[in-house]
Amino acid sequence: MSHQQFSSSILENAVNEFSKLPGIGRKTALRLVLHILKQPVTDAEIFSNSILQLRKEIVYCKVCHNISDSEVCRICANPSRMNEIVCVVENIKDVMSIENTQQYHGLYHVLGGIISPMDGIGPNNLEIESLIKRVQAENIKEVILALSTTMEGDTTNFYIFRKLAPLNIKITTIARGVAIGDELEYADEVTLGRSILNRIDFSNSFK
Amino acid sequence: MSHQQFSSSILENAVNEFSKLPGIGRKTALRLVLHILKQPVTDAEIFSNSILQLRKEIVYCKVCHNISDSEVCRICANPSRMNEIVCVVENIKDVMSIENTQQYHGLYHVLGGIISPMDGIGPNNLEIESLIKRVQAENIKEVILALSTTMEGDTTNFYIFRKLAPLNIKITTIARGVAIGDELEYADEVTLGRSILNRIDFSNSFK
């Protein structure tokens, strides 16, 4: 479609803009644009405005660094959440994934990345100092480390662990093991090995 | 993702708006929204504005009824196009498909649909009358019918053919046959039959 001559430069421009989005090719972009053309003007106005608002009005929560509409995010401001537990995650997507499980009712702390010397990301580029200060200042009893099981994730976990260790709080990490619904024979040996080492009492497995 | 609690209502709103687009689910919508969040503000402004402009400023060409930036579209206004040939298509997407081949240098006439009694679409709901008037008023020597090979397409072709027949111009239809690159054994028998009936001189097949 690269040499395609559009009869309208406005259409062409809109197709170009949509194709800049990740995973959206020119054919899909054209389909989306033709769809918008058929919708009422007010719908296009609302859509257009939601994009502008998204980029211009979203801020980061000053407590947990998650995205937010105001200084303190909905989760931090919710009085029914357990404020003695903080779950440390890499990014805002991880917060969404955990929220999605509906199994966690504590607070979060978004690092904004993980320690990765290869990418030039050190502890000072992340919200680690603010985590330590938060644990020191607030009545936090447990910090759950929920980072990726990669070398970078392990490095970050260990760095945070060493910083938090003197503060006399419980430090945990999320369980690793064979995924629910997965057959044993297809699990990789490291995961399977971990799931045997960290086996739990059978009666606890129904909780 | 239906019960997902977003930490920001602005984000939630943008995700909702993107999920209204055809073929875009909530997971994809979230991915697009997080991408926009990472782009510069000006990019979001340009994108947002392209949507607004698309819906508010695009008009239909008064000659061929294709979408256009002005009263007369780029194709109709292009003096290097052959204005004695008009290709009749169902919709603006078909114009783009034909333009994409770079094999056609005449003009178009967009019907805006095809005759479909089942959907309550008759000749008067389409740009057929304007086609007849155009052929009568302008120096058009050939009309190419390029509609779908469905019952509705055939009905529309035949209706237009009867209207144009008295005007003493050449009326053609695009060739139907086995697609280039397709193996004969996988072609359906109607298509294969048609490609034999409408066989062409071998020396012409290199043009």
Q: State the average pLDDT over residues A117-142.
A: 93
Is B93 in Cβ contact with A14 (below 8 Å)? no
What gap in Å lies between CA A10 and CA B72, rounded to an integer?
14
| Separation CA B80–CA A65 (nearest Å) | 59
* A28 vs B: CB within 8 A: yes
ipTM of the complex: 0.75
Residues in chain A with CB shorter than 8 Å from the CB of B98 are: none
Q: Give per-residue pLDDT as tens, B76-123.
A: 999 999 999 999 999 998 898 888 888 889 999 999 999 998 989 999
B28 touches chain A (CB under 8 A): yes
In whole angstroms, what is the distance from residue A126 CA to residue A114 CA?
Answer: 7
Task: Report how far residue B58's alpha carbon sits from residue B161's, in angstroms, rounded to the nearest whole number.
Answer: 31
Please name the fold of domain A80-174.
Answer: Dna Topoisomerase Vi A Subunit; Chain: A, domain 2 (3.40.1360)
- When the pLDDT of each residue in chain A is averaged and rounded to a whole number, the result is 89
- Which residues in chain A touch residue B54, judged by CB atoms under 8 angstroms apart? 10-11, 13-14, 33, 36-37, 44
Mean pLDDT value across residues B38-44:
94
- Asked if A54 and A100 touch (Cβ cutoff 8 Å), the reply is no
Mean pLDDT over B26-37 rounds to: 93
Cβ separation B7–A95 shorter than 8 A: yes
Cβ–Cβ < 8 Å for A100, B1: yes
- Note if the pTM is more than 0.80: no
Quote the pLDDT of residue A99: 87
Residues in A touching B104 (Cβ below 8 Å): none
The dotted CATH code for B9-57 is: 1.10.8.420
* pLDDT attached to residue A8: 87
**In this structure, what are the phi and psi dihedrals at residue A110, rounded to the nearest 5 degrees?**
-95, 115
Q: Per-residue pLDDT for B3 more than 70?
A: no
CA distance B65 to B38: 39
Query: Can you say whether residue B120 is alpha, beta or left, with left for phi > 0 and alpha for psi between -120 and 50 degrees?
Result: left
Q: Give the 3-state secondary structure of residue B121.
A: strand
Q: Spell out the domain ranges in chain A.
A: 9-57, 80-174
Under the banding of pLDDT at 50, 70 and 90, the label for residue A2 is very low
